[in-house]
Structure 1
């Protein structure tokens, strides 16, 4: 590390502390952070400490120092230097095989790349940090904090992609964990982020409430950066509420404060917002100077989101002046820049990584269950040996009975697990996924951005619901109806929105109180779509009715006006590519397993419908489901 000279002044007390720490060689972040808490913001001292650790091969101390020096560079928007330092710290932490410091470096790399709008790289690092931290069996306080940092960063990436509801879920999860840890800085950060999401959703009152909570926590811990950031956010709300004077009261003192902090991301935003306020007050020359200063700062330090923001505010300024040609030019530059930093590649990468992470997590859970079963079998063998010594015959008989019981139970569990996995595979049908994404792609190609985002939101919500429901034996009927409605909305794209789909719930029925097997209705709807309605010309309808059959049963009816089963079978035999449908068979087996916990049985009946002339006019599927 040739970037530090020993000739720089270092207090003797710190030299003694450095020597003592190198002799002690603490391995945990807690000990290092406790010892260096007062010096960790002084890059001169940290560089000296890092050099001494390198000379004495003390890897943990060197990695700790490099990460905190990198954080200082990040906070002054020197992202390249920050990333290099965090990457070096990560390599040293891996060499030391220290999980705490590896997670710290990964998270810090994610933050650096997120601040420079490199979404794909940032998500990759934060995802690695979260997976590594969640694998720790007895996590330390620092590991728990790192999990919160990862959640916060992943939420921030959803936020960048304008997936605000998903972002708020991550931030609220982190907020709850920060409350348990009593970490006021984490509480401040998560309230700030929730406020930003609500602001972008148009909920200005909710945003104000969260910004004020964040400011209170930052004042409590006396964070200069946090207080300045919150005041800038509050001023932005006041500007949106047409209160420019109130915004200026907060913004003008921030000019000097933000510059002294040295964070160009914050400083450029403060200047642009002050220019916005002056535009609202009619001081156009002042406004132009402030916005251009903020825009130039963002361009010089490669801050894409602030560059876009500056172009937008310059367009608003020129429009207010009456120079509509200049306003249009800035609007066009902003639009082109927005296209550049919000590419479809980032959306695809985000969804791919989320699905991969959820699948890996599910496989890990299955692996843990298998290991636990192996441990149980080993314990059983040990117990058998002990029982044979004391009472051979009784022990042998008991062991045989117990083994038979365990085998029966294990087979049943495997059968249930196999059904759930098969069910998930049928729900996550590759044809359905490909065709849905292809339909969304067409919207993007046709520049129908609102439709693309609308259906992409629905698609990601459906995938998340399927993944969540796949881990549950049963869910409420209300949740199941919401899932199938999402499924039908997406499938309807491919039918050019020709299908009239309705859900009717009978009087006195509360879907929240009724439990059914998760993801049970989709296979029947899929059959109606692709075998009944797909080959039909003209009006296409599917109706889902929920009725009370008796105090112990409810009836679900799925009625379509398709071509009927006879014609559907002929169409199926004439197809060149025959797709084997197993969804209904799997669902019937799951219903049979589900009804074992109830007094009454379930029943599935498929009825052909005919008109007065005896011609097929559709199909009705009747599901009788026990409730007690």
Structure 2
């Protein structure tokens, strides 16, 4: 139907209708997860909208472009375009569109800016009330409910009953108007969110309400084939029964979810990996290691497929962002060319007028005026040539920056997992299994798998919380203890000024821990017990987190002597130095220094002080 509408608009040569048709087609392709068609329609709408002066037309084009930027994880550009669309739709009182766009904007600001999340969620409720249709009201209420849930996650538990009552009212609205709500997934989300609130509520929880809402969510997911709702509903039920100690029921739920997924004509590797991961946890709690091995084999298979799909998607999004940025530059160039064309057109009219006056009055006047306009045209041509050169330079710089960033990310990922560390850790685990130490072996194997997953996931993030960073460091250090036969102890201490939910760049500290263990503690005599100490303090006014790493190893001078005949250079430390240097443009205090411990006391070892920017 949308393509038929587009054909009619083209036959009538109505650019305004064409833009709106392309925008709707782009949003439809987003629902179908067709990135190539989504990009083509959104770009076409945005380019054609430059030829229109209609507010509604420009608003739809900005909405389509904002949706595209959000889909390919270009959050700054997504916010710019959606805010522009929101402003345009607000000016023409299109309250139904404003309600949905304001909701999407609030999601984009979460969790970094709670005040803006609240602001746009409230505005979404206002526009939904003005629009009056249940679809917009449910969309807006889910956004505001998300804000209330974020508040609970931030420690405001006194608002739990407020959030529960709000979602009860939301579900009542959805159930009353089910036939009028097109996006059935939003109804399922409301059920899942309410059930999740009950699971986080005061103990003992309302089990009946929890399970009732999850059953309703599962029914909607099966009826309309909504994968994310089904996964969330089954997962919450399984976790509930796991925490309750009913492992048999939890296992049956996860197996049922797997059977249902395998019965569908497509394979959702993410969902299957999630269910098998949950089954592994249940097997551990039941101490059924035979089942754990079987589930772990299948989990490894689907997790690898999921990772391959995720990597492919990241690469596609990176390509899409790059192509989109090139097209935006081309649009700007076309706008400049149109402006120059208009100027040249006006210039032509002026020349014609001057020629007419010159023919009437005198040849001399015509001659000098003609020379003046010819010179002016040369200047404009030179300006246009300069503009073309600037565009080419910008494209080259963009490509170089993107290539450098991707290269640094790949090098960072490779540097976090030392092959010797991997082989030694797995060898020790294998030795424990052969010695029939099954429980410690499984525990350390879990730590190793968790560390690998954490490093892979965190290397793709711009920021992580300090709590996540500390969790990763603990896993890494405990595996190093296993590898070195527990010949050193460690301690991680946070100053009372430190907030564990602060956001920092990922994987900055681990390379220094690796150096402390490998070059400081490992060469230490076996009869001397090693100690690794990590302290965190915070300078809130400077947006700076200070990490101090101390070890009682052999020290810098002794370490340099041991490495005198080696040509090895620490790749991970070099990459970390590059990352901190790049951060110094925005955070001047970013950096690190390495000191010999004997300079301040009679103890041997090293001290590393890292200034990490709080993002």
Report the TM-score, using the length of structure 2 for normalisation.
0.47
Report the TM-score, using the length of structure 1 for normalisation.
0.46
